[in-house]
């Protein structure tokens, strides 16, 4: 019997996430792609807001860089909130739910690569669309200090770190994203879901971990703004 409490038990959250994966697996591939495209767009809205806050505060960044990270991290979670509440498909949460469903025998093994491939390209398409059409060509971030911020941002994300550092940052990020999705699934009403998502995502952005889909927006946008990046590591 399902719990009537405001927060589901861990075992109930597990069942709910497995059921979500099964539903996603049964969704037509074209619909999955569209939902993934929309997830890329929604996450990019949060990414752009982060750029506006972080890139638009060079004075604070110079005197108190930690504060700017906290400020930018605080606004970024709006993207995942919109994704979860609208039921879109984000790769980083599906990296958790589909293996769960396969391990429990609810889905065949091949559902994992099929879903991950479709969702990856859908997220990428949505992120590139947002970076080009709604960020660069709108002129919102093409002038200083935003363009110079994005140019330096690309260097710190894709050039300066070594491969193992980027990989480990990806683990830290996805751990917190999965915590956010887990907690949101366990919450019964909207306000609780928002808070459950907000805190872990705030932490990962403020700490500087790497989110593969967020980087699908920010790094291509940096290149569009003439960042000196030749090899881009997304994860």
Render each residue's pLDDT in the chain as its tens digit; 235 residues: 444 567 899 999 999 999 999 999 999 999 999 999 999 999 999 999 999 999 999 999 999 999 999 999 999 999 999 999 999 999 999 999 999 999 999 999 999 999 999 999 999 999 999 999 999 999 999 999 999 999 999 999 988 999 999 999 999 999 999 999 999 999 989 999 999 999 999 999 999 999 999 999 999 999 999 998 765 444 4
Q: Distance of CA 96 to CAs 12, 116, 126, 153, Å?
A: 16, 11, 21, 28
What is 10-225's CATH superfamily?
Answer: Glycerol uptake facilitator protein. (1.20.1080.10)
At 52 the three-state DSSP class reads: helix
Q: Residue 35 phi/psi, 5° resolution?
A: -65, -35
Check: pTM over 0.75? Answer yes or no. yes
User: What are the residue ranges spanned by the domains of the chain?
Assistant: 10-225
Whole-angstrom distance, CA of residue 22 vs CA of residue 31: 15
> For the chain, how big is the Rg over CA atoms in Å?
18
């Amino acid at each position: 019997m399902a719990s009537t409490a405001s927060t589901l038990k861990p075992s109930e959250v597990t069942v709910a996430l497995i059921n979500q994966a099964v539903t996603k697996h049964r969704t037509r591939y074209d619909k999955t792609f569209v939902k993934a495209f929309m997830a890329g767009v929604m996450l990019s809205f949060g990414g752009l807001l982060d750029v506006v806050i972080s890139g638009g505060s060079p004075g604070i960044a110079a005197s108190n860089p930690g504060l700017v990270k906290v400020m930018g991290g605080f606004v970024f979670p709006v993207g995942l909130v919109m994704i979860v509440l609208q039921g879109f498909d984000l790769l980083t949460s599906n990296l958790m739910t589909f293996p769960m469903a396969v391990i429990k025998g609810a889905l065949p093994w091949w559902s994992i690569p099929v879903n991950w491939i479709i969702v990856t390209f859908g997220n990428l398409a949505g992120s590139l669309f947002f970076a080009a059409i709604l960020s660069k060509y709108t002129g919102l971030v093409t002038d200083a200090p935003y363009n110079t911020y994005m140019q330096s941002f690309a260097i710190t994300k894709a050039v300066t770190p070594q491969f193992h550092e980027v990989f480990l940052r990806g683990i830290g990020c996805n751990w917190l994203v999965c915590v956010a999705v887990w907690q949101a699934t366990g919450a019964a009403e909207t306000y609780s879901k928002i808070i459950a998502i907000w805190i872990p995502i705030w932490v990962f952005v403020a700490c500087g971990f790497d989110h593969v889909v967020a980087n699908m927006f920010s790094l291509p946008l940096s290149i569009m703004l003439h960042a000196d990046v030749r090899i881009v590591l997304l994860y």
